[in-house]
Amino acid sequence: MTGRLEKGKAALLLVLLLAVVLAFGILLGSETVDLFDPSEAQYAILLEIRIPRVLLGACVGACLACAGAALQALLRNPLAEPYLLGVSNGAALGTMLAFVFFSTLSLTRPVMAFGGAILATAAVYRIARSRAGMSVERLVLSGVIVTTFLSSIIILLTSLLDATRLRSFTFWLLGDLSQATYGGFYLTLAAAVAGTLLLMSQARALNLMMVGERDALDFGVEVGRTRLVVFLTSSAMVGLSVAASGSVGFVGLIVPHLVRLATGSDNRTVLPFSAVFGAAFVVAADTVARTVIAPRELPVGAITALIGAPLFIFLLKRN
């Protein structure tokens, strides 16, 4: 069948793109590295700084893009995005609380980030939902309200921090991969792989949910279960990403949108393609972020927002 063949080719291309972006991400940086004969310092830069950073970026991108794609289908809203819905801020608040109150227990950060993401998702969903259903605008507004509320608590918490920690936190809040560790990478890798697979198990149900919850129910979807699986999984993916790298915004908006433009809206392709393309996108954005004004760095979230915000306006207008 030609359609499937074309999707196979597209998948291959995407994986190639990811490989190229990963290679560039490892090669490029403020310090030029001789790959064939690296000095000891260069070897350390590669192994301890660049490789974990690039790998973490890939996993974060995969998580955010795939979670965004799933949330959009579930909420029937092309503008739904973890960052705009306040899910990322919920996770950020969770991480900060863990950092402030349980700073010695590093494992509390991803756990509380997940908790924060879940609570924010639930709050936005409850606020946005009315008897008449959920309009695009209502959902976006609810996201804004929850984001603003959470931001104010985050700001309150930052006032408890000293100046050095404050600067690193501000960077982290905007999405920052410079603190990458292999520990964070393994955790987000697990979230990216397991999360993408779990969301893909709901892809056919989401194809119906995209049209309407009632349609989905009529055609055999256990709507409540699908909603729960998607909310929990996407919250875990966003939560673990944020715990590792802060709130990288708009990835979940840009990537699924481009994937849909190229391959159509079938979630069986949109979800895995978004994961792979999201990985490449964040690594590319981070490579730009740390090379464009080298040796100084920008937070990766600044780059993604620079692309994402205009796209959001375009999508909102078109809606």
Partner 1 sequence: MLNASNITVSYETKVVLRGLDLDINAGELTAVIGPNGAGKTTLVRVLNGSVDVTGGSAVLDGTPINELARPQIAKKISVVAQENETKFPMTVREFVLAGRFAHGGAFGWESEADIKAAESCLEECGLTGAAERLMNELSGGERQRVLLARAFATEAALLLLDEPTNNLDLANQALMLRVVKERCEKCGSAAVVVTHDLNLVAAFADRVVVLVDGKVESEGPPEEILTEERISRVFELSVLTDINPRSGKLRITPDYTGRPGL
Binding site for partner 1 (CB under 8 A): 1, 4, 72-73, 76-78, 136, 200-205, 207-208, 210-212, 214-215, 217-223, 260, 264-266, 268, 319
Strand partners, 133: 130
Closer to partner 1 at the Cβ: 264 or 310? 264
Report the alpha-carbon distance of residue 188 to residue 236 in Å, rounded.
Answer: 10
Residue type, 183: G
In this structure, how many other beta carbons lie within 10 angstroms of the beta carbon of residue 267?
Answer: 26
Q: Of 259, 265, 299, which Cα lies nearest the Cα of 282?
A: 299
What angle is formed at CA 245 by the lines to CA 227 and CA 289, rounded to 5 degrees?
120
For the CB of residue 36, give the shortest distance to partner 1 in the complex, in Å: 43
> What letter would DSSP give residue 161?
S
For the CB of residue 57, give the shortest distance to partner 1 in the complex, in Å: 28
Report the alpha-carbon distance of residue 56 to residue 93 in Å, rounded.
Answer: 21
Q: Is the dihedral of CA 95, 235, 140, 278 positive or negative?
A: positive
Closer to partner 1 at the Cβ: 229 or 298? 229
How many residues make up the chain in this entry? 319
Report the alpha-carbon distance of residue 245 to residue 243 in Å, rounded.
Answer: 6
Report the alpha-carbon distance of residue 313 to residue 310 in Å, rounded.
Answer: 5
What stretches of the chain adopt beta strand conformation (E)?
none
Residue type, 89: N
For the CB of residue 304, give the shortest distance to partner 1 in the complex, in Å: 22
Closer to partner 1 at the Cβ: 142 or 287? 142
Report the alpha-carbon distance of residue 46 to residue 233 in Å, rounded.
Answer: 32
Q: Which two tokens stand for residue 40?
A: 């000891």
For the CB of residue 201, give the shortest distance to partner 1 in the complex, in Å: 5
Closer to partner 1 at the Cβ: 54 or 216? 216
- Cα end-to-end distance, the chain, whole Å: 33
For the CB of residue 203, give the shortest distance to partner 1 in the complex, in Å: 8
Chain position carrying tokens 């699908």? 226
Closer to partner 1 at the Cβ: 31 or 218? 218
The answer to whether 307 touches 83, Cβ cutoff 8 Å, is no
For the CB of residue 80, give the shortest distance to partner 1 in the complex, in Å: 10
For the CB of residue 313, give the shortest distance to partner 1 in the complex, in Å: 17
Report the alpha-carbon distance of residue 120 to residue 34 in Å, rounded.
Answer: 46
Closer to partner 1 at the Cβ: 212 or 310? 212
For the CB of residue 271, give the shortest distance to partner 1 in the complex, in Å: 11
Closer to partner 1 at the Cβ: 185 or 277? 277
Closer to partner 1 at the Cβ: 165 or 204? 204
